[in-house]
C-alpha cells in the first residue's frame, strides 16, 4: 500500500505484516510535520519492533537528539521554520551526530533535489508517495551498513556467533551463558571487529547516549564478558588496548 501525500492521506496496516523482516532494537526518530504521514510512519515502524520517537519541526528534533542519540533519523525536507536539509547539514557538522544515519523523506523528487539531499549528508533519499514496505527495507539496509549492532542480523567473528532475535551467543556452536549488558557489549564489538573503542564510546553505543554512568563501569562488564567467554576459550578475543580502550580481535593487542 502507498501513502497519499497530503492532509487527506488514509492508511491501514494489516496485522499479518507484523514480525516479518528485521525487528528493530533500534530507535528511529521521525521528523515530519504532516500528522497522517507521521502516524503511518510510527505504526509501520512500531509494528516491526522499532522504538519510535517523533518531532514535528527542526527545533523539536534537535531537542530529541540532544536528549538521546537515535539509531536512525527519518527526516522530512519541508518543515516549518528550519528546513530538513538545513538540519541535516547541521547534524553532519557536529561531532556527536556526524555519523548519525539519516534518511530524507520528501515530496521533492527532482534529480537536483536528490543530489542536494545526498550532498549535505543524507544516507538515503525516499520520495513521497512512498511504500511502507520499501521504507522498512531502506531502514534495515541502512542499519546493516551503518549500525549493524542495532539491526536484527546474525553477527559472526571467528567462532563467535550472535543472534539478536533469539538473544543467543555461541562459541563454536555452544551456547554462551551471558548477561543482558554483556550481550549488548558483545554485539557491538562483533559488529565492529578489529576497531578500538574508548570507554566513553562504548558507554554511548552500548548503554545509550547521555546515560550518566561512570566510565569504569565498562571495565566491570568487560571482565564479566571475558568470564562468560572463558569456558569456551574465547576470552582473549576481548582485548585491552592500553591507554585507549577495548577491541574484539584475534591478533595481539597493541601496547
Same domain, 75 and 144: yes
Model confidence over 177-231: pLDDT tens digits?
999 899 989 988 998 889 998 988 888 778 765 556 788 899 999 999 999 999 9
Same domain, 218 and 100: no
Grid cell for residue 1: 500500500
Positive or negative, the CA dihedral 205, 208, 211, 216 is negative
Domain boundary, last residue among 119, 148, 177: 148
Model confidence over 54-111: pLDDT tens digits?
999 999 999 999 888 888 999 999 999 999 999 999 999 987 788 889 999 888 878 8
pTM value is 0.60
Same domain, 133 and 161: no
CATH code where residue 224 lies: 1.10.10.10
Residue 40 lies in a domain: yes
CATH code where residue 104 lies: 3.40.50.2300
Grid cell for residue 30: 521521525
Same domain, 167 and 123: no
| Domain tally, the chain | 2
The counts of H helices and E strands in the chain are: 8, 11
Burial class, 188, CB count within 10 angstroms (exposed 0-12 / middle 13-18 / buried 19+)? buried
Residue-number span of the structural domain to which 190 is assigned: 155-248
Rounded to the nearest 5 degrees, what angle is found at the Cα of 225, between the Cα atoms of 219 and 227? 105
Same domain, 79 and 198: no
Is the pLDDT at 164 greater than 60? The verdict is yes
Amino acid at each position: 500500500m502507498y501513502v497519499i501525500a497530503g492532509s487527506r492521506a488514509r492508511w491501514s496496516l494489516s496485522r499479518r505484516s507484523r514480525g516479518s523482516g528485521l525487528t528493530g532494537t533500534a530507535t528511529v526518530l521521525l521528523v515530519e510535520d504532516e500528522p497522517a504521514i507521521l502516524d503511518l510512519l510510527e505504526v509501520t515502524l512500531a509494528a516491526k519492533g522499532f522504538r519510535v520517537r517523533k518531532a514535528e519541526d527542526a527545533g523539536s528534533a534537535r531537542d530529541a537528539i540532544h536528549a538521546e542519540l537515535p539509531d536512525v533519523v527519518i527526516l522530512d525536507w519541508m518543515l516549518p521554520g528550519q528546513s530538513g536539509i538545513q538540519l541535516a547539514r547541521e547534524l553532519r557538522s557536529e561531532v556527536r551526530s556526524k555519523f548519525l544515519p539519516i534518511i530524507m523523506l520528501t515530496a521533492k523528487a527532482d534529480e537536483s533535489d536528490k543530489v542536494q539531499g545526498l550532498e549535505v549528508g543524507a544516507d538515503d533519499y525516499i520520495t513521497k508517495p512512498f511504500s511502507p514496505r520499501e521504507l522498512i527495507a531502506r531502514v534495515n539496509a541502512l542499519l546493516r551498513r551503518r549500525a549493524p549492532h542495532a539491526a536484527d542480523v546474525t553477527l559472526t567473528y571467528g567462532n563467535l556467533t550472535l543472534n539478536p532475535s533469539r538473544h543467543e551467543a555461541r562459541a563454536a556452536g555452544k551456547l554462551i551463558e551471558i548477561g543482558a549488558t554483556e550481550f549488548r557489549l558483545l554485539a557491538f564489538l562483533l559488529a565492529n571487529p578489529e576497531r578500538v573503542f574508548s570507554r566513553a564510546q562504548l558507554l554511548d553505543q552500548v548503554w545509550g547516549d547521555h546515560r550518566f554512568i561512570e566510565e569504569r563501569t565498562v571495565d566491570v562488564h568487560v571482565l564479566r564478558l571475558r568470564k562468560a567467554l572463558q569456558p569456551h576459550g574465547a576470552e582473549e578475543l576481548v582485548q585491552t588496548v592500553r591507554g585507549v580502550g577495548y577491541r574484539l580481535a584475534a591478533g595481539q593487542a597493541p601496547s
